[in-house]
Structure 1
Amino acid sequence: MAIPTEIRQWILTNKPTGLPELSGPNQTFTLKTTSLPSLKDNQVLVKSIYLSNDPAQRGWITKDVDPERLYVPPVEQDGVMRARSVAEVVESKSSKYNKGDKLVATTGWAEYSIQDADKCQACADLPGLSVTHYLGAFGLTGLTAYYGTKIIARAGKEDTVVVSGAAGATGSMVVQIAKKLLGCKRVVGIAGNDDKCKWVENLGADLCLNYKMGNFKQDLIRATDGYVDVYFDNVGGEILDLMLTRMKKDGRVAACGAITDYNRSEKPGLKNWFEVISNRIEIKGFIASDFVAQGKGPETVKELVTAVKEGKIKVGDENETVVDTKFEDVPKTWMLLFEGANTGKLITKLV
């Protein structure tokens, strides 16, 4: 593989308040070409192969956000759009990596990038599985599902659990962890179409409801007769508001995401907040990287890999949506997140 002297990057040029714009005078991202700097000791030059698409990225680019209110620094104006990827080492000045090795790094939306070797994660062989799962089931996605379900929500065998966004990257892992690893009594998923609901039930959910159906509210009330112990929230908005009325006294909510509101300039308020008070509901937000920073990541990934080998959790092609994408179309593939087009993890494969 020839070493390039110039590289293409997608730059954040206009921070959005609503839905990001991919064309026009206020387009959110701009494709630019820049010179590649020289490689230094303990660094590697990598070529991005697969890009991770995550709803959280939308929060990193919001206009006028207070940096102190984010768990990671926002993407800077005129900076490279941030993303993690599976990449291949093209050149190395590190004893840790050789040419041709695969690793996970925060490359951003860049064809090539130079990375500090100590900040990269080696991709160990996953027999029978794609390396892309290091961005999903065995990456921050899977860790988020694990920590949120087991530690934050403290889900157990006697619990009824509801999971929104159940056909998404995190939600689909939550369903399996709750049902197959923790042995929860009943798991109910919420997803965006009938095919996704069938897939979620195939993963282990006792029932999955299509929130786009006109009778969704009545169906959810029937499905949660007796109320629920745990709600794993990936969406926020109206579904969270409704779920507050379905929680048991002392119920636990793991607040993971709020994709419903990410592209809204005006955020709707919660009408049922008093339920939190009257029923002593515990709502706790969390970020998986907090647990990773404590050194728990490798142990958790090992546990998840073992669960797959033992047949307790299903991880395979059906757990991800991999989209062949020209580098010129990287933002278009990312935008599929907000259309609900993916089942499981949305991965950009650069072609």
Structure 2
Amino acid sequence: MVKTRQWLLAKKATDLPTYEGNNPNFKLTETELPDLKDDELLVKPIYLSNDPAQRGWISTEADPHRLYVPPVQEGKPMRARGLCEIIESKSSKHSKGDIVFANCGWSEDFVVPASECQPAPDLGNGLSRTLYLSAFGTTAMTAYFGLTEVANIKKEDIVVISGAAGATGSMCVQIAKKLVGCKRVIGIAGSDSKCKWVEKLGADVCLNYKSSSFAEDFRKKTTGPENFVDVYFDNVGGEILDLVLTRMARYGRIASCGAIANYNTTSDKATGLKNWFEVIQMRLQIKGFIVLDYMKDWPKATDILKNMLKEGKLEIEGGEHIVETKFEDIPKTWLMLFDGSNQGKLITALK
């Protein structure tokens, strides 16, 4: 048997999760892994993906009958997806030393079914394999399908993207402007420096939601029928969603991807909507989606994004926030998702 360390979910979270002090949500432990069976792999995570969706998997309010994946159970390793090296293989399809995608969790070593791992071969041209977690990863697929399939964006559209400096939002900006060629793309981000980067990616303008004049600035950019918003890609929910509802064009479309504004609070304290009547009077279409619904088309979308990169239409510089992290500090890096300190895709590089 192999001894390994793991971060377990000690108790589900009601607010911002903790990993230190009394009664933390995450607990570091040591355990023995079971011996490999046929068609299983022993993998060692190299890079971990950090995703806001993980917060929903550990919520006290998570109803397993309504989640798109099962919640993490207390006493079990925190779930995560990552790029892993195969340490030992009992599969004819995978060899020792190969790099694969795997649901490896917050574990130094992990046993996974070979059927649930996908190869992550060298991308060539000096490109980092971490792009499998960013520009060609789940967040990129979320951006692509959320815009093209859920919101059905067109060239004549004015598009607003919240969380525009994040992993999904930054890809949305580039897909909307450089792939589809939308008339106007407005980003929303959390600092002036992030806004400058979003504009470099292709946004016509990006507004800092932490600015005291944000609401007024946003209204000015979206005043009058010719400037109303046709498509809103919503990563945050809360007060920003409520504001955008007042600026939507008639028959506007909203792709509802995330609600990070309320992830670390209970439902009775969450920010509600005051402008719901706008949905009725402007005949808006709001559609929630999960990117897993489009998995059969991921290879096609990946090819499109790779072609964008080849043609110089996809900016990858600055799109990854890779943090070298000791195993003991995995939760600390993950929590950066909620303080706004990351730009682009937040990736844990295990030392």
* TM superposition score category, shorter chain reference: over 0.9
**Counterpart of 2:274?**
271
Matched, 1:105 2:102: yes
Matched, 1:38 2:21: no
- Aligned with residue 189 of structure 2, among 188, 191, 197: 191
Distance in 2 (CA, whole Å) between partners of 1:22 and 1:210 is 31
Distance in 2 (CA, whole Å) between partners of 1:338 and 1:83 is 17
Distance in 2 (CA, whole Å) between partners of 1:125 and 1:23 is 38
**Counterpart of 2:88?**
91
Q: 1:44, CA displacement in angstroms?
A: 1.2
Matched, 1:176 2:174: yes
Matched, 1:57 2:60: no
Q: Secondary structure at the match of 1:111?
A: coil
Matched, 1:257 2:258: yes
Moved over 4 A (4+): none
**Counterpart of 2:151?**
153
**Counterpart of 2:74?**
77
After TM superposition, list the pairs within 5 Å mapping 1:193-342 onto structure 2. Answer: 193-225=191-223, 226-265=227-266, 266-292=269-295, 295-316=296-317, 318-342=318-342
Higher mean displacement: 13-22 or 50-59: 13-22
Q: 1:65, CA displacement in angstroms?
A: 2.0
Distance in 2 (CA, whole Å) between partners of 1:156 and 1:188 is 15
Distance in 2 (CA, whole Å) between partners of 1:56 and 1:194 is 26
After TM superposition, list the pairs within 5 Å mapping 1:117-136 onto structure 2. Answer: 117-127=114-124, 128-136=126-134
Distance in 2 (CA, whole Å) between partners of 1:64 and 1:223 is 37
Q: 1:64, CA displacement in angstroms?
A: 3.7
Identity %: 59
Distance in 1 (CA, whole Å) between partners of 2:186 and 2:88 is 48
Q: Secondary structure at the match of 2:4?
A: strand
**Counterpart of 1:66?**
63
Q: TM-score, normalised by structure 1?
A: 0.97
Distance in 1 (CA, whole Å) between partners of 2:58 and 2:101 is 22
Q: 1:181, CA displacement in angstroms?
A: 0.6
Q: Secondary structure at the match of 2:8?
A: strand
Distance in 2 (CA, whole Å) between partners of 1:64 and 1:347 is 27
Deviations 1:57-103 (A, max 9, x none): 00000014211111111001111100000000111111211111111
Q: Secondary structure at the match of 1:69?
A: coil
Q: TM-score, normalised by structure 2?
A: 0.97
Higher mean displacement: 126-135 or 210-219: 126-135
Distance in 1 (CA, whole Å) between partners of 2:310 and 2:90 is 35
Tell me the amino acid that sits aligned with residue 236 of structure 2: V
Q: 1:26, CA displacement in angstroms?
A: 2.1
Q: Secondary structure at the match of 1:124?
A: coil
Q: Secondary structure at the match of 1:296?
A: helix
Q: 1:222, CA displacement in angstroms?
A: 1.2
Give structure 1 stretches of 5+ with no counterpart: none
Q: Secondary structure at the match of 1:221?
A: helix
Tell me the amino acid that sits aligned with residue 59 of structure 1: G
Distance in 1 (CA, whole Å) between partners of 2:200 and 2:41 is 42
How many pairs does the alignment contain? Answer: 345
- Aligned with residue 23 of structure 1, among 20, 24, 35: 20
Deviations 1:194-220 (A, max 9, x none): 110000000000000001100001110
Q: Secondary structure at the match of 1:65?
A: coil
